[in-house]
Structure 1
């Protein structure tokens, strides 16, 4: 049966990590250049790696692979390459707008500090965004993310850096997040950093509700007051918490491929995307870390289709991704019109996916 081409559906990508966005071929080239040995899980015969972070040992293995890839990034040219390739790969999948999440701390030693690190990323994001329509790339904005495994004072430093570069357009910082193992650190300790970001008008989008359940979602909502949650999928386990998320209009960045790869759910069919949508939650699909999970943005839409969402529902997810974003109004208006056009076409006109 003919189906509309999901790569042709205009969408925004709101949950993609800087290192995790890398092409595995790029990581291998960087490792070879710096004479670094990558874990065997990133070798061609073993890729993509089998992962599960349902326990501490599993998370350690995931983090080890992530760190190994991140250690290959050792200078400005490589940082720019990551932004450029992420924009190109997203554009090839119909993404018009990408909010790329970056913790500049890891790259700072190679470029002279966290300020040059974020400025390099922003400069390349502006460059690729200027050429986006001609090259078919996504326009790129940045979410600065602190890490739960570092001291909350470091999060405040990053929040001030993010606030200094705050804006609403491509090549600017549009949000502030909190990532890494959500089982580490006390969420409330990071609230002062989010207040700094909030005063600067930044979108607040911490991770919560993937490795931990609905209590972590509620704690994060009450302590931080986010507009979006990275993941948040496990809010379905407590109707009261799910109602809280829906009533406050908090967007959820749902990443089915990540959920399965990290062992949160045993298979894609168990991801409660339909339950979230049916409850009235605002959902945008994200790929999280394609480098390690072996699935990109269109794969998440294909999973949603396999879960029983028809093309009208998939179009609604695409619309929600723009509504939840900080994309400029012009980008949103054009995308809305093109989503309508995608849905209006005869499925037989597309190549399917």
Structure 2
């Protein structure tokens, strides 16, 4: 049933959204992490700061991420984490969300990878039943743990046969290893029919993006913003239809760009690149998916273009054709209810 349009102040909050790039342990809000830490006798006080986490560079961010991850140890813990994250997303109009999941972090916390996925899947199932938000898991290999570990993650993703595991990606410290080191892992995932994405062009310059495209042949790039340093590379990305999982708030928090005006999101979009906006690790970077859409709006994206970002994300989602069609129909309906310009087909 179509209701009345929201007040202008609520329009951006309720604009239909979708997210392709968020690490599930990095989405643990401090209040939840504190409760979990107390349960297991873990002290997180040195990395907590109000409603966010304290760190000073990318290396200390990774260390903090690993610390928070140890506060989730059972299937029930991960069901709770997924449910909490997706409830927050659905509360701001999100129709679809993908989460990066790391079997290596699960094992470090003492949980079998299958149990980890089962727990997350239960939280995802409950969230969809409660709010309608659709979600999928992208298994990631952590590159700074080495090529063999990444291949093991790919093998797990390929054989786990869970219907909510639909993709494989490369995450971790981009400064470690070369893209070609992980080519076998991507071949394993590709042969299994999984969607492919890889972090590139965040900490490292545009050459790393080109190397990643050459060696791993992903359909999407996590971040990818440093491609803007090379017009030829941007043209290649546009021509190949590579989708960029852009995370402006994360990029700004890490100091990749001095301010929003310098961030290349708008320039990449105007060049014809398929861009999406994403929160990455929301409480670590003091952001949210709603805030990422707000940052895009501050860069000059119109309401129709913001809805277009959501359409791009759904079209690039690692889902089957029937689910994609349903999500696109829901997007159209949500835009109509808001009175927003329809996203272009």
Shared fold (TM-score greater than 0.5)? yes
* 2:208 equivalent in structure 1: 216
Once the two structures are overlaid, the 10-residue window that deviates more, 74-83 or 225-234, is 74-83
* 2:177 equivalent in structure 1: 185
* 1:155 equivalent in structure 2: 150
Once the two structures are overlaid, the 10-residue window that deviates more, 3-12 or 171-180, is 3-12
The 2-side partners of 1:338 and 1:146 are apart by 32
Alignment partner of 1:11 is 2:3: no
The 2-side partners of 1:195 and 1:230 are apart by 18
Root mean square deviation of aligned Cα:
2.2
Superposition deviation, residue 31 in structure 1: 1.4
* 2:52 equivalent in structure 1: 48
The 1-side partners of 2:338 and 2:73 are apart by 48
Q: Secondary structure at the match of 1:87?
A: helix
* Contact kept? 2:200, 2:224, Cα under 8 Å: yes
The 1-side partners of 2:97 and 2:179 are apart by 26
* 2:343 equivalent in structure 1: none
CA gap 1:26/1:163 in 2 versus in 1, 3 angstroms: same
Q: Deviations over 1:59-103 (max 9, x none)?
A: 222122212211211222211111111221111122122111011
- Structure 1 runs of 4+ aligned residues shifted over 4 Å read 49-52, 109-112, 341-348
* Contact kept? 2:14, 2:92, Cα under 8 Å: yes
Q: Deviations over 1:175-202 (max 9, x none)?
A: 1011111011121111100000000111
Higher RCO (C-alpha 8 Å, min separation 6): 1
CA gap 1:86/1:346 in 2 versus in 1, 3 angstroms: closer
CA gap 1:111/1:51 in 2 versus in 1, 3 angstroms: closer
The 1-side partners of 2:304 and 2:292 are apart by 16
* Contact kept? 1:2, 1:347, Cα under 8 Å: no
CA gap 1:93/1:75 in 2 versus in 1, 3 angstroms: same
CA gap 1:240/1:127 in 2 versus in 1, 3 angstroms: same
* 1:25 equivalent in structure 2: 31
The 2-side partners of 1:105 and 1:307 are apart by 37
Superposition deviation, residue 218 in structure 1: 0.2
Q: 2:40 aligns with which of 19, 34, 37?
A: 34
* Contact kept? 2:251, 2:257, Cα under 8 Å: yes
Superposition deviation, residue 244 in structure 1: 1.2
Q: Deviations over 1:99-154 (max 9, x none)?
A: 1101111222555533333333334434443x1xxx21522211000011112112
Superposition deviation, residue 220 in structure 1: 0.2
* 1:195 equivalent in structure 2: 187
TM, length-normalised to structure 1: 0.88
Superposition deviation, residue 49 in structure 1: 4.4
* 1:140 equivalent in structure 2: 135
Superposition deviation, residue 263 in structure 1: 0.9
Q: Deviations over 1:186-245 (max 9, x none)?
A: 211111000000001111101000111110100000000000000001111101111111
TM, length-normalised to structure 2: 0.90
* Contact kept? 1:208, 1:216, Cα under 8 Å: yes
The 2-side partners of 1:339 and 1:109 are apart by 38
Q: 1:246 aligns with which of 230, 234, 238?
A: 238
Q: Spell out the pairing of 1:50-65 with structure 2 (5 A cutoff).
A: 58-65=57-64
* 2:3 equivalent in structure 1: none
Structure 2, unmatched stretches of 5+, are 1-6, 341-345
Superposition deviation, residue 333 in structure 1: 3.3
Superposition deviation, residue 289 in structure 1: 0.2
Once the two structures are overlaid, the 10-residue window that deviates more, 224-233 or 111-120, is 111-120
Q: Deviations over 1:281-306 (max 9, x none)?
A: 11111100012112110100000000
